[in-house]
Chain A
Amino acid sequence: MIARLGRLPWGLFVLIAAFCVPAMGSRFYTFLANDIVIWALFATSLNLLVGVTGLVSFGHAAYFGIGAYATGLLMKKLSVPFLLAFPAAGVLAGAAALAFGFFCVRLTRIYFAMLTLAFAQIVWAICFKWNEVTGGEQGMPEIPYPSFDWIPALPVVGGWRTAEYFYFLTLLMVALCLWALRRIVGSPFGRMLTTIRENPERAEFIGVNVRRYELAAFVLAGAFAGMAGGLFGIFNRGVFPDFAYWTKSSEVLIMTLLGGMGTFYGPAIGALVLILLNQQIVAYTEYWPFVLGTVLVVLLFAFPGGIAGAIGAMARRLTRPRRA
Chain B
Amino acid sequence: MLEVRDVRKAFDGFQAVAGVSLAVERGQTAAIIGPNGAGKTTFFNLITGHLRPDTGAVLLEGRDITGVAPHDVCRLGMGRSFQRTNIFPRLTVFQNIQAAYLSHRGRGRDLWSSVERLYRDETDAVLASIGLLERSGELSGFLSHGAQKQLELGIALASEPRLLLLDEPTAGMSATETRDTIRLIDRIVRDRGLTLLFTEHDMDVVFSIAQKIIVLHQGRVIAEGAPADVRADPEVRRVYLGARR
Contacts and interface: CB of A to CB of B under 8 A. Distances in A.
Contacts of A191: 95, 98-99, 102, 115
A193 to B, nearest CB: 9
B111 A183 contact: yes
B189 interface: no
A33 B245 CA distance: 74
A205 B74 contact: yes
B11 interface: no
Interface of A: 183-184, 186-192, 194-195, 198-199, 201-210, 213
Interface residues of B, number: 37
B100 A199 contact: no
B163 to A, nearest CB: 13
A319 B113 CA distance: 30
A98 to B, nearest CB: 16
Interface string B77-98: 0001010001111110001001
A306 to B, nearest CB: 15
16 contacts: A187-B110, A187-B111, A188-B109, A188-B110, A192-B99, A195-B103, A198-B89, A199-B86, A199-B87, A199-B88, A202-B155, A203-B103, A205-B80, A205-B86, A208-B108, A209-B69
B75 interface: yes
A190 B88 CA distance: 14
Contacts of B155: 202, 206
A201 B86 contact: yes
B102 A183 contact: no
Given A195-B88, A199-B89, 17 more contacts: A186-B116, A187-B110, A187-B113, A188-B102, A189-B108, A189-B109, A190-B111, A191-B102, A198-B88, A199-B86, A199-B88, A201-B82, A203-B103, A205-B73, A206-B100, A206-B104, A210-B71
- Which 9 residue pairs of A and B lie closest in terms of their CB atoms, listed nearest first? A198-B88, A206-B100, A207-B74, A202-B86, A188-B107, A192-B108, A207-B103, A188-B110, A189-B111
B29 interface: no
Contacts of B80: 205
Interface of B: 48, 69-75, 80, 82, 86-91, 95, 98-100, 102-104, 107-116, 118, 155, 158-159
Given A187-B111, A191-B99, A192-B103, A202 B87 contact: yes
Contacts of A201: 82, 86
Nearest to B155: A206
Contacts of A198: 88-91
B109 A202 contact: no
Contacts of A209: 69, 71-72
B145 to A, nearest CB: 16
Nearest to A196: B88
A199 B99 CA distance: 12
B111 A184 contact: yes
A164 B235 CA distance: 86
A171 B104 CA distance: 39
B114 A194 contact: no
B86 A189 contact: no
A178 to B, nearest CB: 15
Contacts of B99: 191-192, 194-195, 206
Nearest to B89: A198
A205 B90 contact: no
A205 B48 contact: yes
Nearest to B97: A206
Contacts of A189: 108-111
Nearest to B81: A205
Contact of B82 (A190, A202, A203): A202
B17 to A, nearest CB: 20
Nearest to B165: A205
Contact of B70 (A188, A190, A192, A205): A205
A27 to B, nearest CB: 39
B26 to A, nearest CB: 22
Contacts of B118: 188
A85 B71 CA distance: 39
Nearest to B80: A205
Nearest to A192: B108
Of the listed residues A183, A192, A206, the one surrounded by the most CB atoms of chain B closer than 10 A to its CB is A206
A186 B115 CA distance: 6
B238 to A, nearest CB: 36
Contacts of A188: 102, 107-110, 113, 115, 118
Given A192-B108, A207-B74, A208-B108, A187 B115 contact: yes
A205 B90 CA distance: 18
A195 B155 CA distance: 12
Of the listed residues B103, B109, B113, the one surrounded by the most CB atoms of chain A closer than 10 A to its CB is B103
Nearest to A212: B71
Of the listed residues B86, B108, B155, the one surrounded by the most CB atoms of chain A closer than 10 A to its CB is B108
A209 B103 CA distance: 10
B154 to A, nearest CB: 11
